[in-house]
Amino acid sequence: MYSKRELQTLVISDVHLGTFGCHAKELLHYLKTVNPKTLVLNGDIIDMWNFSKSYFPSSHMDVLRQILKMSSTGTHVYYITGNHDEMLRKYTDLQLGNFEIVDKLLLELDGKLAWIFHGDVFDTSTKGSAKILAKLGGKGYDLLILINRFINWVLEIFGKDKMSFSKKVKDSVKKAVAFVSDFESTAAELAIEKKYDYVVCGHIHMPQIKEVTNEKGSVMYLNSGDWVENLTALEYNNGKWEIFSYDKNYDNLIYLKDNFKQEDIVSKILAS
């Protein structure tokens, strides 16, 4: 059992409560080990795209209860809306005690400014007609396989060659890596123009802390990752940001000592 660690600021994102991939039990355990002054829920906490009345386990509800408990005992909680919980945007600027719903957030941390937002504003696949495909993608790999089987059955009827969706996904890896790079660069460049010290995003399920520099200046880009594949959070204390990863194999908390390689985990952004 871990004693609670005092934190100035904690950022988590992309929990996707209400989906089979969510590691709610691990997140609940993690939240019980920390006592942040400020908790930022940076989008896609509740997955309303894939919400089903038939699937919302008690462990997922326990996470929401824990967050509300933290709010009621002194933690200021900011819920930043993302693309999977965009329905909450109609409640933007709603404040109930220590709990606020916002679209973006500007926090002062030891004299420096942190610009925090989910990041879906940079992703054209979550807008317009492409949004339908993005929602379909969020249903997961199993649905992809079922569709693939059905299409191959139809192709066989018409004497056509079978096709593999998984191969097409693999072929798109380089494009996905390029998207991640563009996402980070765009967020950083905007933050530099606004003269912010930190820019903190979620959305792409890729935990990261790195300095980005261009001809106009520099900024610290951070991404809190997710609680579907990486089980990560951003913690801020005494002027320093750190990424924490929940090691579900040992029921423990460990540091991320090395940055993730984009090529190794790029497939994880497909569910973002």
pLDDT digit string, tens, across residues 213-272: 999 999 999 999 999 888 999 999 999 999 999 875 555 666 554 444 444 444 444 444
Residue 10 has pLDDT above 70, yes or no: yes
C-alpha to C-alpha distance for 271 and 267, rounded to whole angstroms: 8
| Closest to 46 in 3D by CA, of 87, 17, 14 | 17
Of the options 3.60.21.10, 3.40.50.280, 3.30.300.280, 3.40.50.10490, the CATH number for the domain spanning 5-271: 3.60.21.10
Residue 195 has pLDDT above 80, yes or no: yes
Q: Which pLDDT score, from 0 to 100, does residue 3 have?
A: 74
Out of 6-20, 27-41, 113-127, 197-211, least confident range: 113-127
DSSP 118: -
C-alpha to C-alpha distance for 142 and 164, rounded to whole angstroms: 14
C-alpha to C-alpha distance for 232 and 223, rounded to whole angstroms: 9
The pair of three-digit structure tokens given for residue 180, joined into one six-digit string: 């991640």
CB-count exposure of residue 15 (10 Å: 0-12, 13-18, 19+):
buried
User: pLDDT tens digit string along 136-175?
Assistant: 444 454 355 456 657 877 888 888 886 655 445 544 544 5
Residue 4 has pLDDT above 80, yes or no: yes
* Element of type H or E holding 10: strand 5-12
Q: Which pLDDT score, from 0 to 100, does residue 251 have?
A: 58
Q: Which of 15-29, 114-128, 245-259 ranks highest by mean pLDDT? A: 15-29
Residue 123 has pLDDT above 60, yes or no: no
Q: Which pLDDT score, from 0 to 100, does residue 33 have?
A: 93
Q: Which pLDDT score, from 0 to 100, does residue 174 have?
A: 43
Give me the mean pLDDT over the 16-33 stretch. 90
Q: Which residues, in sequence order, are CB contacts of 158 under 8 Å at separation 6+?
A: none
Residue 124 has pLDDT above 60, yes or no: no
Contact 117, 103 (CB under 8 A): yes
Give me the mean pLDDT over the 180-186 stretch. 78
- Taking the domains of the chain in order of start, what are their residue ranges? 5-271
SS3 letters across 212-254: EEECCEEEEEEECCCCCCCCEEEEEECCEEEEEEEECCCCEEE
C-alpha to C-alpha distance for 79 and 39, rounded to whole angstroms: 9
The whole model's pTM is what?
Answer: 0.75
Q: Which pLDDT score, from 0 to 100, does residue 12 have?
A: 98
User: pLDDT tens digit string along 32-64?
Assistant: 999 999 999 999 999 887 767 777 889 999 999
C-alpha to C-alpha distance for 186 and 144, rounded to whole angstroms: 30
User: pLDDT tens digit string along 53-95?
Assistant: 777 889 999 999 999 999 999 999 999 998 888 888 899 999 9
Q: Which pLDDT score, from 0 to 100, does residue 60 have?
A: 94
